[in-house]
Amino acid sequence: MSPPAALAPRTRPPARATRARRTRPGGAERRQQILRAASECFGTRGFHGTTTRDVAAAVGITEAALYRYFASKEAMYAAILDARMSAPDPVAAVEALAESGDDRAVFAGLLRVLLAGVTADPSFIRLLFYSALEGHELARPFHEQRIRRLREFLTSYIERRVREGAFRKIDPALGARFFIGLFVDYAIVRQVFGQKDLYPQSPEAVAETYVDIFLDGMRVAPAARARRPKGRKRG
């Protein structure tokens, strides 16, 4: 009778692989994970409806571990807004174009940046809506420095183009709000109501189409621009 075959010795995974599996996120990486989870929670349940336990569970850590990075909900909320405030300003991206009066470049550039931002971070637009509904004071600086700046820039630009005869005579503030409303509809439909099928087009295609429609309604027709007022003939 043949002796039983010797069992193959168990092989241990390489030490490097074992260490890789046990590697934990560094402090900066973990902080970013917490902020992403907090933004999603705040955008889903609002500031008052979210607890630190909710955020910790979303990250997969204990509440005690979360407190090593952020002392409170307010600290997380403020950090999210600070990060957005440090992001590139959409207005700064088109200020040079505005000087040259390139209407298409200005409005298309703004809309592309706005649509890209809400696509990359859909939870933030919901967080802003919640902050308005809850009257959260921490969001006020963002509204003052980013949203008001955008509105005032657009109002000033439209007012100038009306004065130059390129745009027809309208209320510049209403024109600015109309343009911002195009972006807001996109953000609400896709990111608040989740009806992405209503905007199957790419953000680029949406921006180009909206700007075409907007400028077609704003520009003075060439024939109208060339006309001069004529005096009435006396009989």
pLDDT digits (tens, 9 = 90+) for 82-120: 888 887 888 998 999 999 999 999 999 999 999 998 888
pLDDT bracket for residue 214 (50, 70, 90): very high
Most confident of 24-28, 83-87, 194-198, 214-218: 214-218
**Euclidean distance between CA atoms 131 and 127, whole angstroms:** 6
Q: pLDDT value at position 23?
A: 56
d(CA 164, CA 158): 10
| Residue for token pair 């429609």 | 213
pLDDT class for 52, splitting at 50, 70, 90? very high
Average pLDDT over residues 16-31: 65
As a whole number, the mean pLDDT across the chain is 84
- A 10 A CB-CB count for 175 gives 22
Domain spanning 87-223, CATH class: mainly alpha
In the structure, what pLDDT confidence band is assigned to residue 204 with cuts at 50, 70 and 90?
very high
Fold equal for 26-78 and 87-223: no
Q: What pLDDT band is residue 145 in, cutting at 50, 70 and 90?
A: confident
Residue 117 has what pLDDT? 87
- What's the whole-number mean pLDDT along residues 150-169? 96
The DSSP bridge partners found for residue 219 are 167
pLDDT score of 7 more than 90: no
In which element (H, E) is residue 226 found?
Answer: helix 222-226
Written as six digits, the tokens of 71 are: 């002392």
Domain residue spans of the chain: 26-78, 87-223
We find that the CATH architecture of domain 26-78 is Orthogonal Bundle (1.10)
Lowest mean pLDDT among 44-48, 170-174, 179-183: 44-48
Instruction: Tell how many helices (H) and how many strands (E) occur in the chain.
Output: 13, 0
pLDDT given for residue 30 in this prediction: 94
Place of tokens 């005096």: 231
